[in-house]
Amino acid sequence: MCTDWTQKTQLVVSAIACCIRHVYGAQHPPFDPLLHGTVLKAAPKVPTTPLKAKRVSTFQEFESNTSDAWDAGEDEDELLALAAGSLGSAVVMETARRVLRDHSQRQGRPKLPEALGPEPRPQPSTEPPPASSGDLRLVKSVSESHTSCPAGSASDTVPLQRSQSLPYSASGTLGGAAEPGTCSGGGAALSEREASRLDKFRQLLAGPHTDLEELRRLSWSGIPKPVRPITWKLLSGYLPANVDRRPATLQRKQKEYFAFIDHYYDSRNDEVHQDTYRQIHIDIPRMSPEALILQPKVTEIFERILFIWAIRHPASGYVQGINDLVTPFFVVFICEYIDGEDVAAADVSRVPVDVLRNVEADTYWCMSKLLDGIQDNYTFAQPGIQMKVKMLEELVSRIDEQVHRHLDQHEVRYLQFAFRWMNNLLMRELPLSCTVRLWDTYQSEPEGFAHFHLYVCAAFLVRWRKEILEERDFQELLLFLQNLPTAHWGDEDISLLLAEAYRLKFAFADAPNHYKK
406-421: per-residue pLDDT in tens?
999 999 999 999 999 9
| Across 13-17, 148-152, 222-226, 492-496, least confident range | 148-152
Name the more confident of 82 and 279. 279
Higher-scoring residue by pLDDT: 429, 66: 429
The pLDDT assigned to 314 comes to 92
Q: What's the rounded Cα separation, in Å, for the pair 346 and 331? A: 11
pLDDT at 137 over 50: no
- Bridge partner residues of 209 (DSSP): 242
Alpha-carbon distance values, 152 to 8, 13, 22, 29, 466 (Å): 20, 16, 11, 21, 56
Of the ranges 42-51, 158-167, 179-188, 382-391, the best mean pLDDT one: 382-391
Q: Comparing 77-91, 316-330, 447-461, which segment has the lowest mean pLDDT?
A: 77-91
Per-residue model confidence (pLDDT) at position 418: 97
Taking 90 as the threshold, does the pLDDT of residue 491 lie above it?
Answer: yes
Q: Identify the residue with better confidence: 19 or 211.
A: 211
Q: Is 70 exceeded by the pLDDT of residue 129?
A: no
Which pLDDT score, from 0 to 100, does residue 1 have?
52
Average pLDDT of the chain? 76
Q: pLDDT tens digits for 328-356?
A: 999 999 998 986 667 777 889 899 999 99
Q: At what angle do helices 228-235 and 326-334 cross, to 10 degrees?
A: 140
437-456 exposure pattern, b = at least 16 Cβ within 10 A, e = fewer: bbbbbbbbbeebbbbbbbbb
**Which one of 16-25, 72-81, 264-273 scores highest in mean pLDDT?**
264-273
Residue range 241-266, pLDDT digits in tens: 999 999 999 999 999 999 999 999 99
The pLDDT assigned to 516 comes to: 53
User: Across residues 10-25, what is the average pLDDT?
Assistant: 52
Q: Which pLDDT score is estimated for 462?
A: 97
Question: In terms of pLDDT, which residue wins out, 58 or 145?
Answer: 58
| Residue 28 Rama label (left phi>0; alpha psi -120 to 50; beta) | beta
State residue 454's pLDDT score.
96
The average pLDDT across 93-118 equals: 54
pLDDT (tens digit per residue) in 440-455: 999 999 888 999 999 9
Task: Judge whether residue 89 has pLDDT over 90.
Answer: no
User: What pLDDT does 448 receive?
Assistant: 86
Q: How far apart are CA 498 and CA 439, in angstroms?
A: 11
